A and B are shown apart, each in its own frame.
Chain A
Amino acid sequence: EVQLLESGGGLIQPGGSLRLSCAASGFTISSYAMSWVRQAPGKGLEWVSVINDRGDKTYNADSVKGRFTISRDNSNNTLDLQMDSLRVEDTAVYYCAKIGITLFDAYDMWGQGTMVTVSS
């Protein structure tokens, strides 16, 4: 089955760190750009980070710049998001998503999401 499966979410105190992972199955991520998108409770979608197919170009939203790092391991077919200096406002469901052939393409596959709660 072709799917993305996120893991690593949980409850973390403000200032802490968390690492999310996304495992792809049924296809090879090495041909595609990938992204993390988040959704705070009751709110809309917010793109967080994007990485190109080779992993040598990354882009981050201003809200997470300097705190979050996106990376990928094409040999293991996985995508990661290292989140440092977490804030209460980072509380959200985090989705990994596959972008089409290029960086500038629609998000054509999404995982089911993993919840991150930042609270003391």
Chain B
Amino acid sequence: NTKITQSPRYLILGRANKSLECEQHLGHNAMYWYKQSAEKPPELMFLYNLKQLIRNETVPSRFIPECPDSSKLLLHISAVDPEDSAVYFCASSRDRIDERLFFGHGTKLSVL
């Protein structure tokens, strides 16, 4: 699946700042960040529609999303915590009421 690309694939951090990147080539208007911790289901973190943040779940303030254009999504993480170790998935859909999501490969974040 090269329609949604995420980088990096793997990330090992101490208490540092880092950004995850996502780009979709599907012409979709809605983009999402999901977090999946070990043995848990994916959980929605942020949802953008047409570059506007419309759902901001209760996530720690050290996670800051950014949507520079409708095809790109960033997730800035500052001062990561061990509980942040997880796989972070980017996803997109045609629009915010289309629940058919297309997911990227994910970025596996390991916090030392």
Pair from one complex = no
Interface residues of A (CB under 8 A from B): none
Interface residues of B (CB under 8 A from A): none
